Amino acid sequence: MVGWHASAPVIGREWSLTLYWRAYRPLTDEARKLAPYRYIRLLTPDGQVLAGCDGIPTAGRFPPPAWSPDVVVADKVRLRIGEQVEPGLANVLVGLQLESRETENAPVTVGQVMLRRPGRPPSPPCVTGIRIGPWARLIGYGLTQIESNVVRLDLYWRMESKEAIPADYHVFVHVIDGRTSGLVAQADAPPCQGRCPTSLWIRGDLWVDKHYITVSEESISASTPLLVKVGWYSLATGERVMAFGADGTELNDAQIVLADLAQFYAGQPCAQHR
């Protein structure tokens, strides 16, 4: 396979993919008798199959026994992406198998694509206007209690720059004791647990980035402010990305003081720190 081309994949719709094949040497008479077929898989980073397509290349119109080194063959396929698929990164896996043999060529990950939802993006329950670097904005967040001491924090990141983000940044989520400034909990991770790397964002993207925060029962019952602070940093260097308030003011320590979990546990859904 000498190349591939694809449309932007959209969840719940058909996805067009073209593979380009060429025989790298003249086929022997024995090879011409073989009937190889190709298989394509769209996989999550952890190997879950999202879509697939098997069959003879070009649907048999120009099958592999007829190929030569002088011709590049365009093999067009369509894959259906289910509506229940989560948005984010997916790997494109391609392989060839010979019907007359039990063994197959090792499949190859030929590239990656970003799955996006159609239609209007979701709106955050709690609105903010924080800018991250020159590229993106935290337009809001949501808090959901999962267990007595576990809270899910949903961060709504919107890409606003035409320029690509030059690196894959991590998100830090720290819960700080408002009286002692001590670290109570931490939930650092790449956005979407690695499924939506920042270097692949395009203008207009809105990614809902989920982090699970576990706070001790002792901290919850202490009636002290539990400040949720978030931001971006480089995993390689530890350097943080500058953050700016809605009025353009640079935030101290490149971090956003987002909410007070003590207020959230007291019944305030947004629990915004003031």
Q: Which residue has the higher pLDDT, 222 or 256?
A: 256
Percent of the chain with pLDDT over 90: 74
Residue 183 φ then ψ, to 5°: -80, 120
Beta bridge partners of residue 75, listed in sequence order: 19
Evaluate if residue 103 carries a pLDDT over 50.
no
CB 143 within 8 A of CB 270: yes
Q: Which residue has the higher pLDDT, 177 or 274?
A: 177
Could you report the per-residue pLDDT of 62-81, keeping only the tens digit for each? 888 888 899 999 999 999 99
Average pLDDT, rounded, for the chain: 91
Domain positions in the chain are: 3-115, 126-265
Please report the pLDDT score of residue 100 as a whole number. 47
Taking the C-alpha atoms of residue 135 and residue 82, their distance in angstroms, rounded to an integer, is: 31
Could you report the per-residue pLDDT of 104-128, keeping only the tens digit for each? 567 889 999 999 999 888 899 999 9
CATH number of 126-265: 2.70.50
Could you report the per-residue pLDDT of 155-171, keeping only the tens digit for each? 999 999 999 999 999 99
- Give the pair of three-digit tokens for residue 109: 């990950």
Taking the C-alpha atoms of residue 110 and residue 90, their distance in angstroms, rounded to an integer, is: 11
Could you report the per-residue pLDDT of 134-160, keeping only the tens digit for each? 999 999 999 999 999 999 999 999 999
Evaluate if residue 251 carries a pLDDT over 70.
yes
Q: Output DSSP code: residue 46.
A: T
One CATH from 1.10.569.10, 2.70.98.30, 3.30.70.360, 2.60.40.10 for 3-115: 2.60.40.10
Give the pLDDT band (50/70/90) at residue 99: low
